[in-house]
Amino acid sequence: MSLLHQLALKFVPGIGDVLAKNLLSYCGSAKEIFKIPKHKLLFIPGIGPKMAAAILNPICFARAEKEMKFLERNKIQPIFYTDKTYPKRLKSCVDSPMLLFYKGNADLNKQRVISIVGTRHATSYGKQICEELVAHLKAFDVSVVSGLAYGIDICAHKACVKHQVPTIGVLGHGLDRLYPAQHRNTAEKMLENGGLLTEFPSETNPDRENFPKRNRIIAGMADATVVVEASIKGGALITAEIANSYNRDVFTFPGRIGDEFSEGCNFLVRFNKAGLLTGYDDLATQLGWLDEKPKIKTQQLLFPLDLSADEKQIFETLKISEQMGIDDLAIQTNISVSTLAMNLLNLEMQGLVRSLPGKAYSLVR
């Protein structure tokens, strides 16, 4: 079974997400990885004798069989990197998880996804902003991602439950437990219109080092990350930094000078790491959601002759779409986001492509 091999790959010690995806690119599937002789495994970059022996050790299959029974018993959906249901925004991130575990009914590839993060010590000001932001976002048919932690995270999830906005909690442990336990009631309600997502298998404790890893999923799944309230140190600023590294939009609300839990937000604005939100319409405006562009009859576009191979591919892909986000464009063209950004800039300078709010692009028609 392919699922058994996918789970077994997860349990090979020493294989991280980047190396696992490298193995997949060389071998074609998780099943083929375990069929390759040891001497051929050694030709794959990153695989030494010790790693090859670990891949061929049958103990990973014993653990995989146990996990598979747990998933079936608890109706948890495993989502492998090559599955269509894998979050497409996250897939374009170089360190995206090879395997996810999901319990819920929300679409992980909804057209609009926003991450909301912030301090564990939310003030009444932060809670009010969080509640009103979610209520405002409902009109735009979004999904909200957060980390189910104390403070702003749980405030965002509760507001989503209240206003019937799909919300996904990304966990730093396996789905056989819940941390913090006090949030179990909200987590159960989230399953009705949302879900719980993790990269960690069962029997994984909520250890400290798991939460920075969890933060990259929160940042990678969304079109934009909103930092509601944050101190200068903490997970919210880590998530914002990760989102910036993924070329995603980051926004934040300002706070009073000297306020500890607005210091991080003010820092992000000061150093141009986040866009400033002074009202709830600002987010929709900056992401281009308020633009109501009339549909224009498609006209034949002349293909420029002096483009590189990558530029030609981007041009042809944008011809069939009115506009496309950079993550979708990366998936459609199979060009890395960094290379794509460079080529898009070249096309923009030639007057062939225009950049739109929300990291989207379209041809100049």
- pLDDT level of residue 271 (50, 70, 90 thresholds): very high
Mind listing the pLDDT tens digit for each residue in 302-331? 555 568 888 888 888 888 887 888 888 888
Give CA–CA dist 47/26, Å, rounded. 12
Task: Provide, for the chain, the percentages of residues in helix, strand and coil under a 3-state DSSP scheme, each rounded to the nearest 5.
Answer: 45, 15, 40
Phi and psi torsions of 257, nearest 5°: -60, 130
**Residue 195 in contact with residue 101, Cβ under 8 Å?**
no
Closest Cα to residue 56, out of 8, 104, 93, 115? 8
- pLDDT score, position 227: 97
| Single-letter code of the amino acid located at 341 | A
Q: Is the dihedral of CA 51, 57, 63, 64 positive or negative?
A: positive
Residue with tokens 């002759």: 305
- pLDDT score, position 311: 86
**Residue 228 in contact with residue 184, Cβ under 8 Å?**
no
Pairing of strands 224-227, 249-252: parallel
Of 72 and 26, the one with more pLDDT: 72
pLDDT at 164 exceeding the cut of 90: yes
**Residue 277 in contact with residue 253, Cβ under 8 Å?**
yes
85-96 mean pLDDT: 92
Query: Around Cβ 335, how many Cβ atoms within 10 Å?
Result: 19
Q: What is the 3-state secondary structure (H, E, C) of 198-256?
A: ECCCCCCCCCCCHHHHHHHHHHHCCCEEEECCCCCCCHHHHHHHHHHHCCCEEEECCCC
Name all domains of the chain by residue range, CATH numbers in brackets: 2-73 (1.10.150.20), 104-286 (3.40.50.450), 309-363 (1.10.10.10)
- Here the tokens at position 172 are 């730093």
- pLDDT level of residue 221 (50, 70, 90 thresholds): very high
Residue 76 DSSP label: P
Mind listing the pLDDT tens digit for each residue in 41-69? 888 888 999 999 999 888 999 999 999 99
135-158 mean pLDDT: 96
Query: Full-prediction pTM beyond 0.85?
Result: no
Beta strands in the chain (DSSP E): 77-80, 99-104, 113-117, 143-146, 167-170, 194-198, 224-227, 249-252, 275-276, 324-325, 353-356, 360-363
- pLDDT score, position 299: 45
Name the β-bridge partners of 353.
Answer: 363
**Residue 87 in contact with residue 81, Cβ under 8 Å?**
no
Of 303 and 147, the one with more pLDDT: 147
pLDDT at 297 exceeding the cut of 50: no
pLDDT at 189 exceeding the cut of 70: yes
Lowest mean pLDDT segment, chosen from 19-33, 84-98, 292-306:
292-306
Q: Is the dihedral of CA 30, 31, 34, 37 positive or negative?
A: negative
Mind listing the pLDDT tens digit for each residue in 21-41? 889 888 888 999 998 888 888
- pLDDT score, position 358: 73
- pLDDT level of residue 292 (50, 70, 90 thresholds): very low
Lowest mean pLDDT segment, chosen from 133-137, 259-263, 299-303:
299-303
171-178 mean pLDDT: 97
- pLDDT score, position 300: 45
Mind listing the pLDDT tens digit for each residue in 230-256? 998 888 999 999 999 999 999 999 887
- pLDDT score, position 304: 57
**Residue 113 in contact with residue 89, Cβ under 8 Å?**
yes
